[in-house]
Amino acid sequence: MKRTIRTAALTVCALIAAVGLPAGVAQADTTTPRTDLRVLVVSDGGPATAAVEAELAGEGTPYTEVDLNSASRPTIDAAFLSDTLDGRPRAKFQAVVLPNDNPFATGSAEMAALAAYEQTYAIPQVDAYTYARPEVGLQYYVYGGYAGSLDGVTAGVTDAGRAGPFGYLDGSVPFENNDASVSESYGYLAVPVVGADFTTYVDAPVPGSSGRASLVGEYKHDGRRELVVGFVYNQYQEQFRLLARGIVDWMTDGIHLGASHSYLAVHVDDVFAADDRWNSTYNCTPGDVDCTDPGATESTIRMTSADVDYAKSWEESHDFTLDLAYNGVGSEDYKEEHGGSDPLTTSLVADKNDFRWINHTYSHEFLGCEQNTTVVPWVCATNADGSTKWVSQAEISGEISTNVAWGQAQGLPIDTDELITGEHSGFFVTPQQPVDNPNLGPALTANGIQWAGSDNSRDPQQRQVGSALTVPRYPLNVYYNAGTEADEVDEYNYIYGSRAQGGSGICDDNPATTTCLASPLSTTTGYDDYIVPLESRQALGHVLSNDPRPHYVHQSNLTEDRLLYPVLNSVLAQYRALYADNAPVVNLRQKDIGAELQRRNAWKSALSAGTVTAYRIGDDVTVQAPPGTQVTATVPNGTTLGGTAYGSAYAGERSGWTASTGSALVLTLPSAAVAASGTAASAATVDTTSTAPRTTVPAGVTE
């Protein structure tokens, strides 16, 4: 033994002498591979790989797509996948996503190259949707499994899934069943092959039996790891949205650029003011510019002190804060008409610290073009030369500054750099006003506005207007002119009803975008039975999509039948039943939402420009970006940056934004994470000849 050690020592000395290094000087380690933080997605154009790409893009995780349908696509070979950089072996991708376990032809050299790459650098592979068969560690479904529709099935995260990539979920994974007449999901439930190294992460009950079988699991074989997903999906379906974060975490070992959270914010507009009520006889809203029948008498809806007490109590019991967008003139007008007293203002001011407040302009005036309401629909008024008459900069500034002064006089805790204009006016509104009021930007700048609410349904991308960046807001289909369920349902029936049913006929004229109601909803049960489930599902979809944009309703929805609460109760109850406590809803105010969108847009631009370099060597993750770039990453708990904990905790991991100085940011991973991620496997014989999803199957079994 001593002779062996001596021989080794002599060999090292000889090597040192050969390269001309002084004795005792250690060589730099160039044997540990470098793995670039980028995902390779091989797409067949199907919905499953598109969904994974959407998740990567949404999180801000860079990926390279190879489109199998493109004649000009690159060939996937060893040179495409890896090389040597600065004397160190480099894996160009930290994960591989395939449409199934082997989308290439029999005997494919590309699949062989991928398999060898995954072995050499311990690179995980996601099979976005594949057929249950022994090649992926599963029995054919006829042996104790199932193939068919999964609509309405409630799958479950196993103990291994909760301890692994899906630890942010509480356990249930419900599959959508939004329309009983349409098949919305299809998949395979299968049991692992005896002796296979297969770990089930998500399973579901097998119809007609008391057993459960795998729906998502990890298959280890031949020095490789595959995440086998046995159901097809698209990026919008709830079952995928629930699992998407975990799929990315699995493929990246929880170490990747980008981040994902669940956001929900709700803006309540027109607080202190009154909203006009829908008239079911004339199918319009008296007081609006398009309701001109003289018989349509005006009626208004306004909150009361009891509604303030209810809102405060609701917030406390649901651990959620509402954002109140206020118009000061509503209070002053009410006082003028009621002997100087306004109980609503008294209550809201007394409880002002229980809410967040946003300037909604003083009198909710339309701040775009001057409206000519002598015609329906209205048009922009014009000057003698035919040019558009615009609301002036002085008028816009007055609406902003007067409301700030009024709010400050009441002691409201407002941020003066936030604004929501009435009806999002001043910004373009088609078809009447296809451009922003040119006086809007200067008025925003003059008043120091940095964050201005816009309507996501017509202006979804954040953009600069004067000094402000827009914050697109999702409208909830709970109408501003409805205080009761009967009002809401009657208007809903009119808007979405066919002409044959006495509706507006919008759905008749626009069948590609609007579906007619099969029959009018009941005014007594239609809200709870139809509208609430639909609106809460849509809102929950935004929450599950890593989308921070706020939703907005109106003060009329907090009074009378209090229409907002059933929707929010449903969203929050569903979310909290699906997610673990380590992944709470993030409830941001407008300026913080705007800043989040701003950072994301800048990050995506930096990634697109190729100015970000990120890689991992051993227990170090290095990110290089231009000075001022906000860098974001998701890493395991215990990761440090400069000796202190990186980012903040969320969903069992840590993530955050860090401003780059131009120097390399080095994140140090905890030793447990390094060990868990595995090391490069030794070469092994790998079967790369089988195609997927078709192969030899038992008689009677079809895909």
Query: Each residue of 367-402: pLDDT tens digit?
Result: 999 999 999 899 999 999 999 999 999 999 999 999
Which tokens in the block code for residue 604?
A: 């995506």
**Is residue 55 domain-resident?**
yes
Is pLDDT of 682 > 60?
no
Lowest-pLDDT range of 68-72, 268-272, 672-676: 672-676
Please tell me the number of Cα atoms within 13 Å of 673 on its side-chain side: 28
Nearest to 100 by CA among 703, 697, 544: 703
Q: What is the C-alpha to C-alpha distance for residues 241 and 118, in angstroms, rounded to an integer?
A: 27
For residue 61, the one-letter residue type is T
CB atoms within 10 A of CB 480: 21
- Is residue 298 domain-shared with residue 446, that is, in the same domain? yes
What pLDDT shows up at residue 676?
62
Of the chain, the end-to-end C-alpha distance in Å amounts to 60
DSSP, collapsed to helix, strand or coil, labels residue 182 as: coil
What pLDDT shows up at residue 683?
40
**Is residue 493 domain-resident?**
yes
CB atoms within 10 A of CB 379: 16
219, 253, 287: which is the final residue of a domain? 253
Is pLDDT of 276 > 60?
yes
Q: What is the C-alpha to C-alpha distance for residues 396 and 389, in angstroms, rounded to an integer?
A: 14
- Is residue 579 domain-shared with residue 602, that is, in the same domain? no
- Is residue 229 domain-shared with residue 319, that is, in the same domain? no
Q: What is the C-alpha to C-alpha distance for residues 175 and 186, in angstroms, rounded to an integer?
A: 10
What pLDDT shows up at residue 20?
44
**Is residue 439 domain-resident?**
yes
Q: What is the C-alpha to C-alpha distance for residues 91 and 605, in angstroms, rounded to an integer?
A: 24
What number is the average pLDDT over the span 664-682? 73
- Cβ neighbours for 428, distance < 8 A, ≥ 6 positions apart: 368, 434, 435, 436, 458, 459
- Is residue 187 domain-shared with residue 296, that is, in the same domain? no
- Is residue 288 domain-shared with residue 377, that is, in the same domain? yes
- C-beta separation of 214 from 158 below 8 A: no
**Is residue 690 domain-resident?**
no
CA distances from 403 to 193, 325, 408, 416, 428 (A): 69, 11, 8, 10, 23
What pLDDT shows up at residue 250?
98
What pLDDT, in 10s, does the model give residues 152-179?
Answer: 999 999 999 999 999 999 999 999 999 9
**Is residue 348 domain-resident?**
yes
- Bridge partners (DSSP) of residue 419 are 452
253, 287, 311: which is the final residue of a domain? 253
For residue 162, the one-letter residue type is R
Nearest to 104 by CA among 95, 94, 115: 115
What pLDDT shows up at residue 333?
98
What pLDDT shows up at residue 677?
63
What pLDDT shows up at residue 376?
87
Q: What is the C-alpha to C-alpha distance for residues 419 and 397, in angstroms, rounded to an integer?
A: 12
DSSP, collapsed to helix, strand or coil, labels residue 594 as: helix
To the question of pTM greater than 0.85 for the whole model, the response is: yes
- Is residue 211 domain-shared with residue 279, that is, in the same domain? no
CATH of the domain at 338: 3.20.20.370
- Cβ neighbours for 353, distance < 8 A, ≥ 6 positions apart: 413
- C-beta separation of 223 from 41 below 8 A: no
What pLDDT, in 10s, does the model give residues 520-564?
Answer: 999 999 999 999 999 999 999 999 999 999 999 999 999 999 999
Q: What does residue 36 show for φ and ψ, rounded to 5 degrees?
A: -75, 140
Confidence band (pLDDT; 50, 70, 90) for 671?
A: confident
What pLDDT, in 10s, does the model give residues 390-436?
Answer: 999 999 999 999 999 999 999 999 999 999 999 999 999 999 999 99
Q: What is the C-alpha to C-alpha distance for residues 634 and 624, in angstroms, rounded to an integer?
A: 16
Is pLDDT of 13 > 50?
no
Q: What does residue 469 show for φ and ψ, rounded to 5 degrees?
A: -105, 140
Nearest to 275 by CA among 261, 292, 288: 288
Is pLDDT of 264 > 90?
yes
- Bridge partners (DSSP) of residue 173 are 155
Nearest to 189 by CA among 156, 235, 226, 164: 156
Q: What is the C-alpha to C-alpha distance for residues 242 and 473, in angstroms, rounded to an integer?
A: 23
CATH of the domain at 235: 3.40.50.880
Number of structural domains (the chain) is: 3
- Is residue 273 domain-shared with residue 196, that is, in the same domain? no
**Is residue 259 domain-resident?**
no
Q: What is the C-alpha to C-alpha distance for residues 451 and 454, in angstroms, rounded to an integer?
A: 10
Which tokens in the block code for residue 131?
A: 């057929």
- Is residue 607 domain-shared with residue 576, that is, in the same domain? no
What pLDDT shows up at residue 14?
37
Q: Angle formed by the axes of helices 564-578 and 532-543, to 10°?
A: 50
Number of helices followed by number of strands (H, E) in the chain: 18, 35
Q: What is the C-alpha to C-alpha distance for residues 567 and 488, in angstroms, rounded to an integer?
A: 13
- C-beta separation of 318 from 568 below 8 A: yes
Which tokens in the block code for residue 409?
A: 């006089």
Query: How large a percentage of the chain has pLDDT more than 70?
Result: 91
Nearest to 436 by CA among 458, 403, 404: 458
Q: Angle formed by the axes of helices 343-350 and 328-337, to 10°?
A: 140
DSSP, collapsed to helix, strand or coil, labels residue 292 as: coil
- Is residue 83 domain-shared with residue 133, that is, in the same domain? yes
What pLDDT shows up at residue 690?
46
Q: Which residue shows structure tokens 């004067």?
A: 466
What pLDDT, in 10s, does the model give residues 311-356?
Answer: 999 999 999 999 999 999 999 999 999 999 999 999 999 999 999 9
- Is residue 450 domain-shared with residue 561, that is, in the same domain? yes
Q: What is the C-alpha to C-alpha distance for residues 405 and 416, in angstroms, rounded to an integer?
A: 10
What pLDDT shows up at residue 465?
98
**Is residue 329 domain-resident?**
yes
Residue 214 CA to its chain's centroid (Å): 27
**Is residue 141 domain-resident?**
yes
Expressed as residue numbers, the domain containing 643 is: 591-676
- Is residue 410 domain-shared with residue 530, that is, in the same domain? yes
Nearest to 255 by CA among 658, 665, 639, 699: 639
Strands, E assignment, 292-392: 300-301, 323-326, 356-359, 371-372, 379-380
Is pLDDT of 96 > 90?
yes
What sign does the dihedral 202-205-207-213 (CA atoms) show? positive
What number is the average pLDDT over the span 7-23? 39
What pLDDT, in 10s, does the model give residues 71-87?
Answer: 999 999 999 999 999 99
590, 613, 647: which is the final residue of a domain? 590
Is pLDDT of 18 > 90?
no
For residue 202, the one-letter residue type is V
- Is residue 343 domain-shared with residue 459, that is, in the same domain? yes
